[in-house]
Chains A and B, each alone.
Chain A
Amino acid sequence: MKRRVLLLVAVWLGLTGCRRASPPAPPDPLGDVFRKQAQEEGLSRTATEGKRLFAHYCATCHGERGQGDGQNAYNLDPKPPDFQQSLRSHAPSYWRRIIEGGSAAVSRSPLCPPWGRALSKREIDTLVAYLEALGRAGSPPPSVGQAAAGPGSP
């Protein structure tokens, strides 16, 4: 009798134990595609949306990666800056002011127009997020960065 009870308990434990043990994860090629994509872009979802807006509204002058090499850049004086260099010197609130009110809003040339009426606050948030990502992508290790910023900076 006792042995039978013990046996039952052991079987029950064994069964629940098996159930609790996590089975090997089945292959998930779709998840792999999404993960790979996110890794390649290295951008948050918000910044990815900002990237699309940037390509539409900004890249003509600033270039796809904000390096100041857009197809219209040759025509502008002053030239658009290389964001990967200049983004580190200002806070995101400063970029937001330029996006909303144009470069004239921070007493620079009028060539970057204001987008505050065309874009919603949320859309500007996504642009700022993309710019932050660009700034990070462009920032080299501090020591090298200081050396590089010397002659090239305005």
Chain B
Amino acid sequence: MREPQLTPLKLLRAFTLLGIAFLGIFTWVFLKEYLAEWRTYQAAFRVLQPQLKDPHALSLAPRAEGIRQIWLADIDRVDRCTTCHLGADDPDFGKAPQPFRTHSGTWLNSHQPERFGCTVCHAGQGEATGFRSAAHEPLAHWPAPMRSLELMEADCGACHRERAPRQAPWLAEGRRLIANANCVACHDLPGFRTEEVRAPRLESVGYKARPDWFARWLKDPKVYLPRSRMPNFRLQADEIEALSAFLLSQRAVAPLDASGIDWKKADPDRGRGLFGEARCVSCHMIDGRGGTLGPELSRVGSKVRREWLFSFLKDPFREQPETLMVHYRLSDDEIRDLVAYLSTELVDPEAPAAPPEIGYLDPKRVEAGRAVFVKHGCHSCHRFSGMEGLGKIGPSLAGLGDRAVDEGARMGSKAPPTLPNWILLKLRTPEALAEPSRMPTYNLSEREAAAVTVALLSLRAADLPASRVTNEPLVPAYEPQGEFGALVRRYRCLSCHRIRGWGSDLSTVPLDRIGSQLQRGYLQSYLENPGAVRVSLEERMPYFHMTSDEARALTDYFSTVFVDDGLEAPVASPGSARQGQQIFERLGCRGCHIVGGQGGYVGPDLSDSGRRLKPGWTTAWLLKPEQWKPGTIQPDYGLTSEEAQALTAYLMSLTAAKAGSRP
């Protein structure tokens, strides 16, 4: 090999070439910087500014010169979006072309740009200063491109951890569905508690359900009851057979003895009457009507055994200590009639007349069934004694919104799906992605699955500083003791009412100040025999058949403990009932309230308010309804206290006898 000789001419040529190359690079860099996209936008903005702003405002407006950025020190984020989006916080640019247009809505009032920047809500690459590089559209190697308005709600959810954030309907719907579907039973899910999971215990289910029902239910619950909360586990025939045997063999607590009942005397029609009176539809759905707190009863007659139902209605807590079901005080004859109604009229026409026998006594089958039970995580929702320590069978979903999609998941396309699409497809067809998946099929509609996807995407890996997170306060459990506590548990007041934030809001009336709202005599008679205060509502207070002593004990407690001293102060100058009546007519209260047989069914019937309501509360409510019940449809007329007192005096003068009996 000969060394290459560098002659002066060759050297000169090399240096010249190098010089030209350097000049080229220098010019290129200079031009690139000088002709940067953002400079073009800023130049355009400087032309637009004088057209949209008056000269005085223009002299005060910040100059569009150079790169602008917002630094969020606490989450280590830099957003340079305002380098181009120069009019985002200036209302004069409402009709300007993008990227200069004013931010829509009033969002910047509640999310000040200097505190929230842009990408916290919008995602995208904040440090970039070009349209493409800022990930306005999906960008290679940038995990969080800007999203559609709907998907943006996932970013709302990263900070707003409330169940139902008010301006994020997809997120709120998704979180509601997640809670309803008991997802937290199998997955760790930040924001949801395992204690929320509701499903019956199954240790005595062998006494409860008919043998043929198990097979039909387990094959696909939604075929039996389309609104069933239980998903389809896609079980094989042999798994169903084994599981049925296992469940039939579960006989921990025998039902109460019903051998003395003469079923021939049962009267289903009377049972139907009792069913209506007890307001069962407040919680149980029948053929599309009714509540969802309890199981649907449309086909309960083909599901449960008559003797079990009798025992359950006589004492629901015997077998299901945590049930939300009320322990009604019904006589054996009444229960018999109720059972007769449920088991003869609410049946499935397709149920086989003679159910096939299932050999549940075969210990091998029972053992195989137990294995199926554990494999599919049935114990996650149906708490089962002896299986408490088995743990959750699904992976944790914490930080799901920041996870990378499995590169192997192709789903009929060359490119791997985006994370949101991967979640959507997993939710709708769990078996299509990773076989064999144990995740059951929920039959979510497209819309529902999209909502759940938004809610799941809000689960972020990075922990946000507490100052950036909003959430509902954690409510400690309210567990009253003594005689009152026993009555609250027996009649399951907290299944519908809230006390100190604990319980449910099925009822529109929290009990915290009920003793100051309602008169003692009315409270007691209402508990003993609740009439309808709002007949248009499906969910109404049940007729518990409570004894007078029980009603008195509850009333005593309500009127001494659940009071608000501010409402109890005697009225200084009671207003004039006549003046109050004029106001009542002038405001058109009768449009929603009945007085003396005439009026609307929207608000409560006021015909007997003189015996029902307390004056202090009535005045306070009329003055500021929103303060006592956010979102109420009782309008705030901006009454003066004289007007409110006059109206109160009028309402206090109304009693059922005076106002004329109801039709």
A29 adjacent to B169 (CB under 8 Å): no
Evaluate contact between A75 and B601: CB separation under 8 angstroms: yes
- Interface check B6, CB cutoff 8 A: no
- Asked, given contacts A26-B413, A109-B588, A111-B588, whether A118 binds B167 with beta carbons under 8 Å apart, the answer is no
Q: Are B424 and A114 in contact, CB atoms less than 8 angstroms apart?
A: no
Whether the pair A23, B415 counts as a contact (CB closer than 8 A) is: yes
| CB proximity to B under 8 Å, residues A74-127 | 75-76, 102, 109-111, 113-115, 117-118, 122
Asked if A33 lies at the interface with its beta carbon under 8 angstroms from chain B, I say yes
B418 and A110 form a contact (CB under 8 A): no
Q: Which of A8-16, A44-52, A141-149 contacts B (4 or more CB under 8 A)?
A: A44-52
Please tell me if the beta carbons of B424 and A30 are within 8 angstroms of each other in the complex: yes
Q: How far is the CA of A75 from the CA of B635 in the complex (A)?
A: 18
In the complex, what residues of A have CB within 8 A of residue B602's CB? 60-61, 72
Contact A114 B591 (CB under 8 A): no
Which of A27, A60, A111, A117 makes the CB contact (< 8 A) with B421?
A27
A71 vs chain B, min Cβ distance (A): 7
Judging by beta carbons under 8 Å apart, are A31 and B148 in contact? yes
Given A72-B592, A76-B591, A76-B600, A118:B626 Cβ within 8 A = yes
Judge whether B424 and A117 touch: CB under 8 Å.
no
Number of B residues with CB within 8 Å of any CB on chain A: 43
Contact A117 B636 (CB under 8 A): yes
Kindly name the residue among A34, A37, A122 whose own CB sees the greatest number of chain B CB atoms within 10 A.
Answer: A34
Residues from chain B with Cβ under 8 Å of A28 in the complex? 418, 421
Which residue of A52, A56, A60 has the most chain B CB atoms within 10 A of its CB atom? Answer: A60
Q: How far is the CA of A138 from the CA of B592 in the complex (A)?
A: 28
A117 to B105, CA, bound (A): 21
Partner of A75 from the list B412, B586, B599 (CB cut-off 8 Å) is: B599
- Does B53 lie at the interface of the complex (its beta carbon under 8 Å from any beta carbon of A)? no
Identify which of residues 500-521 in chain B touch chain A, using a CB-to-CB cut-off of 8 Å.
Answer: none
* B residues in contact with A34, CB < 8 Å: 148, 150-151, 450
Once bound together, how far apart are the Cα atoms of A109 and B632, in whole Å?
A: 22
Asked if B381 is at the interface of the complex by the 8 Å CB criterion, the answer is no
Q: Determine if A110 and B635 form an interchain contact, defined as CB atoms under 8 angstroms apart.
A: no
Across the interface, which residues of B come within 8 angstroms of A75, CB to CB? 591, 599-601
Contact A29 B425 (CB under 8 A): yes
B440 to chain A, nearest CB (A): 21
Would you call B105 and A46 a contact (CB within 8 A)?
A: yes
A17-43 interface code vs B (CB 8 A; 1 in, 0 out): 000000100111111011011000000
Question: A-facing mask of B40-63, CB < 8 A → 1, else 0?
Answer: 000000000000000000000000
Distance between B445 CB and nearest chain A CB, rounded to angstroms: 9
For residue B631, CB closer than 8 A to chain A, the reply is yes
- A110 touches which one: B417, B587, B632 (CB < 8 A)? B587
- B131-169 contact mask (Cβ, 8 Å, vs A): 1 or 0: 000000000000000001111000000000000000101
The answer on a CB contact under 8 Å between B638 and A56 is no
Partner of A113, one of B106, B424, B587: B587
Q: Report B608-654 residues with CB < 8 Å from chain A CB.
A: 625-626, 631-633, 635-638
B446 at interface, CB cutoff 8 A = yes
B7: shortest Cβ distance to chain A, in Å?
Answer: 18
Inter-subunit contact A110/B420 (CB<8 Å): no
The answer to the question of B111 belonging to the interface, with a C-beta cut-off of 8 Å to chain A, is no
Chain A residues in 8 Å Cβ range of B167: 49
Within 8 Å of chain A (Cβ to Cβ): is B536? yes
Answer whether residue B458 sits at the interface, using C-beta atoms and an 8 A cutoff: no
Complex CA–CA separation, A72 to B418 (angstroms) = 48
Q: A30-B420, A75-B600, A109-B588 are in contact. Are A114 and B425 (CB under 8 A)?
A: no
Residue contact B106 to A122, C-beta cutoff 8 Å: yes
Interface status of B453 (Cβ within 8 A of chain A): yes
How many Å from the CB of B469 to the closest CB on chain A? 23
Contact B636 A111 (CB under 8 A): no
Partner of A114, one of B149, B449, B637: B637
User: Which A residues touch B600, using CB under 8 A?
Assistant: 72, 75-76
Whether B588 and A110, one on each chain, are in contact in the complex, defined by CB atoms closer than 8 angstroms, is yes
CB proximity of B410 to chain A, nearest CB, Å: 10
B420: nearest residue on chain A (CB-CB)? A30
In the assembled complex, the CB of A78 is this many whole angstroms from the nearest CB of chain B, namely: 11
B635 & A114 in contact (Cβ 8 Å cutoff): yes
| Cβ-defined contact, A48 with B169, below 8 A | yes
Give Cα A116–Cα B435 distance, bound, in whole angstroms.
56
Compute how far the CA of A111 lies from the CA of B632 in the bound complex, rounded to whole angstroms.
Answer: 17
| A15 CB, min distance to chain B CBs, angstroms | 15
Given A71-B536, A114-B636, CB of A29 within 8 Å of CB of B415: no
Most buried by A among B586, B587, B599: B587
B375 at the interface (CB under 8 A from A): no
Contact B638 A114 (CB under 8 A): yes
Asked whether any CB of chain A lies closer than 8 Å to the CB of B658, the reply is no
Q: How far is the CB of A141 from chain B (nearest CB, A)?
A: 29
Most-contacted residue by chain B among A27, A30, A31, A36 (CB, 10 A): A30
User: Chain A residue with minimal CB distance to B423?
Assistant: A30
A48 to B172 Cα, complex, angstroms: 14
B447 within 8 A of A: yes
Chain B contacts for A109, CB-based, 8 A: 588
- In the complex, A75 Cα to B536 Cα: how many Å? 13
Considering the chains assembled together, what is the distance between the CA atoms of A45 and B105 in angstroms?
A: 10
Identify which of B413, B414, B591 contacts A72 (C-beta below 8 A).
B591
Contact with A along B452-478 (1 / 0, CB 8 A): 010000000000000000000000000
Which chain B positions have C-beta within 8 A of A33? 424, 446-447, 449-450
Residues on the B chain within 8 Å of A37, using CB? 447, 450
- Other CB < 8 Å A-B pairs besides A28-B418, A109-B588, 8 of them? A27-B412, A29-B425, A30-B450, A33-B424, A61-B602, A75-B599, A117-B636, A118-B632
Which A-B residue pairs are the 10 nearest by beta carbons?
A113-B635, A110-B588, A117-B636, A26-B415, A75-B600, A33-B450, A34-B150, A111-B588, A111-B591, A30-B424
Name B's A-contacting residues (CB within 8 A).
105-106, 148-151, 167, 169, 411-415, 417-418, 420-421, 424-425, 446-447, 449-450, 453, 536, 586-588, 591-592, 599-602, 625-626, 631-633, 635-638
What are 19 of the A-B contact pairs (CB < 8 Å)? Answer: A26-B415, A26-B418, A27-B412, A27-B413, A27-B421, A28-B418, A29-B421, A46-B105, A49-B169, A56-B633, A57-B633, A71-B536, A109-B588, A110-B588, A111-B588, A114-B635, A117-B626, A118-B626, A122-B105
Which residues of A pack against B, CB within 8 Å?
A: 23, 26-31, 33-34, 36-37, 45-46, 48-49, 52, 56-57, 60-61, 71-72, 75-76, 102, 109-111, 113-115, 117-118, 122
